[in-house]
Amino acid sequence: MTDRNQSAESPALELSRLSVAYTVRGRDLPVLSDVSLRIERGEAYGLVGESGSGKSTVALALQRVLPPNGRISGGHARVAGKDVMELGAAALRNMRANDVAMVFQDPGKALNPSLTVGRQMAEVYEILGASGTEAKDRGEAMLGRVRISDPARVMASFPHQLSGGMQQRVVIAMALAKDPALLILDEPTTGLDATIEAEVLDLVDTLRQEFGAAVLFISHNLAAVASLCNRVGVLYAGKLVEEGPARALFSDPRHPYTAGLLRCLPRAGFKGGPALDNIPGFPPVPGSITEGCVFAPRCGLAEDRCRTDAPPLYDVGDGRGSRCHFHDRVDDLPRMSEAPPVNVPERGPNVEPVLKLEHLSKTYKLPGNRNVQALRDVSLTLDP
Ligand code: ATP
Ligand code: MG
């Protein structure tokens, strides 16, 4: 069997007890502790959790691109069967060039503002070994594959001449050009509006099936994760507190933190829907909780035991795990807050709108005397 075959059988990503620390003013802050997870080839895995829980750190550590004050303090990360801790400089470059690709939140920052999209697409193929014209042709063809309907125009454009959604398509095209085993998307749609977000997520799902790449999808947006991912991991204060198939985990959470996150979601999607709840308090400073469960200080189910015994990852059946002593009592989690009523004054003749648009139109001029009409005759008012 060749090396290639061997690596094709290994999971796209395997983290075993991965721990990461950042050094700040001479002190080590542990931000990931003993994170273990596995993403099979072609699988989509969602990583969710509050801001600061360590999601991006997972993505950076597994490529060994942590900032200078960050280091892997324990455990292993294997990408397509390769242990990234063991790779020498050349093998590491090779792994980053071929096996893994990353798409960030802000496509504008991922693209070079001073080069045309065509030049940047061609460069990706040049790095992969193609020559001038071939690199350009392959770049243009890849834009077609990410459903850009006018690849020639986009190739000739500078990034600022494209919408955010279009820019993100270009970044995804660049990521897929190397046919990676693992595609990491770190909040890829946070900067996009809702309809564009839906389009981009749909595109990622289609491309995953076409390209067979595994996806690590990092997001605050639980609805997006539910629609895109097979399995989900919930990260809290650098620990994986719950893991399982997406559908089961979202419909029947087995960790109070997951339940709390779900109660923060506006289910009905409009004002007047079921009252939202929140999770009281704030995530702990990394490394500040050394005993018991990291979530205990904010948990409505916590008992004395939770403050002294750190729960293991309990196997709760059906491929699910929960790091909660009381994983079978999550349905009893009390409400944490009452949603305050919102007072909206009655509309009347004496109410001056805060914002009033009347017949607003806006046109952008593109190279070659082409115009895009971005707004056409828009009128609206917004009351206090
Ligand atoms: P977000 O949802 O806001 O993107 P995240 O889950 O991606 O958050 P990380 O960016 O991985 O979180 O950060 C995890 C923890 O590490 C946070 O407490 C953060 O403040 C800290 N941290 C991140 N980068 C550094 C750094 N370079 N130096 C010191 N601490 C850092
Ligand atoms: Mg992040």
288 lines ligand 1 (CB under 6 A): no
The predicted structure's pLDDT at residue 247: 93
The stretch 65-75 carries a mean pLDDT of: 96
**pLDDT tens digit string along 118-128?**
999 999 999 88
343 lines ligand 1 (CB under 6 A): no
33 lines ligand 1 (CB under 6 A): no
The predicted structure's pLDDT at residue 315: 97
pLDDT at 340 over 60: no
pLDDT at 89 over 90: yes
Q: Which two tokens stand for residue 30?
A: 């542990």
* Interstrand relation of 182-186 and 314-317 (parallel, antiparallel or unpaired): unpaired
The predicted structure's pLDDT at residue 275: 64
24 lines ligand 1 (CB under 6 A): yes
pLDDT at 39 over 90: yes
Of the CA atoms within 13 Å of residue 132, those in its CB half-sphere come to: 0
**Secondary structure class of 163 (helix, strand, coil):** coil
Cβ neighbours, 10 Å, residue 269: 8
| Residue 197 contacts residue 105 (beta carbons within 8 Å) | no
Separation between Cα atoms, residue 71 and residue 22, nearest integer Å: 6
pTM attached to this predicted model? 0.85
Report how far Cα 158 is from the mean position of its chain's Cα atoms: 26
**pLDDT tens digit string along 349-382?**
777 889 999 999 998 887 777 787 889 999 998 8
Q: Which two tokens stand for residue 292?
A: 């018991």
Separation between Cα atoms, residue 228 and residue 97, nearest integer Å: 25
The predicted structure's pLDDT at residue 27: 92
| Per-residue confidence band for 6, with pLDDT thresholds at 50, 70 and 90 | very low
Task: Write the single-letter amino acid at 145.
Answer: R
pLDDT at 338 over 80: no
Q: How far is the CA of 13 from the centre of ligand 1 (A)?
A: 21
* Closest residue CA from atom 11 of ligand 1: 54
Q: In b/e form, how buried is each residue of 3-36, taking b as 16+ CB within 10 angstroms?
A: eeeeeeebbbbbbeebbbbbeeeeeebbbbbbbb
57 lines ligand 1 (CB under 6 A): yes
96 lines ligand 1 (CB under 6 A): no
Instruction: Give the closest residue to 183 by CA, choosing from 159, 151, 205, 152.
Output: 205
Separation between Cα atoms, residue 112 and residue 262, nearest integer Å: 38
Task: Write the single-letter amino acid at 31.
Answer: V
Q: Which residues contact 139 (CB under 8 A, 6 or more apart)?
A: 118, 121, 122, 124, 125, 155, 173, 177
Of the CA atoms within 13 Å of residue 314, those in its CB half-sphere come to: 12
Q: How far is the CA of 235 from the centre of ligand 1 (A)?
A: 12
Task: Write the single-letter amino acid at 301.
Answer: L
Q: How far is the CA of 55 from the centre of ligand 1 (A)?
A: 8
The stretch 150-169 carries a mean pLDDT of: 93
Instruction: Give the closest residue to 241 by CA, choosing from 185, 170, 312, 153.
Output: 312
Which ligand gives the minimal distance to the CA of 48? 1
**203/59: higher pLDDT:** 59
Q: Which two tokens stand for residue 259?
A: 């339940």
**241 sits in which H/E element:** strand 239-245
Q: Which residues contact 65 (CB under 8 A, 6 or more apart)?
A: 96
* Closest residue CA from atom 30 of ligand 1: 22
**Secondary structure class of 239 (helix, strand, coil):** strand
Instruction: Give the closest residue to 72 by CA, choosing from 146, 32, 20, 108.
Output: 20
Which ligand gives the minimal distance to the CA of 60? 1
> Read out DSSP for 39-69?
E-TT-EEEEE-STTSSHHHHHHHHTT---TT
Separation between Cα atoms, residue 164 and residue 212, nearest integer Å: 26
Q: How far is the CA of 53 from the centre of ligand 2 (A)?
A: 8
